[in-house]
Amino acid sequence: MSSVVAKSYNKSADPVVAYCSEHTAILTPLQVELQKETLTNAPMGGMLGAPEVLTFGQHFIQSFGGKRALDVGTFTGASALAWALAVPDDGEVYTFDIDHTNYNKYGVPILSKDQKTFAKIKPLEGAAVDSLDKLIADGQSGTFDFAFIDADKTSYPAYYEKCVTLLRSGGVILVDNSLRGGKVADPKCREDPSNAAIHATNDIIFQDQRTRSALLNLGDGTHVAFKK
């Protein structure tokens, strides 16, 4: 598979990927600190979102004045921090993870240095599908501006469906790891449940009449869906 499918912080990143990131990613000192802490000390630090993808998402939020964001897959909080920096002072970022141990251990000590931004982040621990369902049941459908999906891959189709429901018309969803290192393009690799789920999600998004979409070779693959 092509080495161009990679996150820019990987040492093996293709020079083209590195070049594009150098001309895309804009990180605050807090983001740089959290990225370094995650890659150095957190278990499976490579799950960290690519900075070029996070900057890309921030541009969407800022371009249309988004105030409410869904962050499916907290890990250490890098993506939640990116969206919290992008939304205005009265904005909110709901971040979901089955377990917030990594967020509390590696993220909170850094994020809490900026209380104004930290206060915008609303961590919800437990199965994200259940938490999203609760938001829908509470009448939150159509009230969010932006969603980022980067959690357990087998649940991607469910996450996408619920995020579409929760987004307003004109809202944007970014689905991370949509190329899975190029494995989704290989039928043999799609025998793996996670790769199969991502491939299925890509098909669902492409065929979804509720959204307009584009699958980009950004980071480990970013599928962008714009709700009509």
User: How many Å apart are CA 60 and CA 54, to the nearest integer?
Assistant: 10
- Model pLDDT, residue 3: 42
pLDDT tens, position by position, for the chain (228 residues)? 444 456 666 655 678 888 888 899 999 999 999 999 999 999 988 889 899 999 999 999 999 999 999 999 999 999 999 999 999 999 999 999 999 999 999 999 999 999 999 999 999 999 999 999 999 999 999 999 999 999 999 999 999 999 999 999 999 999 999 999 999 999 999 999 999 999 999 999 999 999 999 999 999 999 999 999
- Model pLDDT, residue 97: 98
Geometric angle at alpha carbon 173, from 39 and 164, rounded to 5°: 130
Q: Read off the tokens for 64.
A: 């249309």
Taking alpha carbons only, the member of 140, 46, 42 closest to residue 99 is 42
User: How many Å apart are CA 197 and CA 188, to the nearest integer?
Assistant: 14
- Model pLDDT, residue 18: 83
Determine phi and psi for 113, rounding to 5 degrees. -70, -20
Geometric angle at alpha carbon 140, from 144 and 227, rounded to 5°: 40
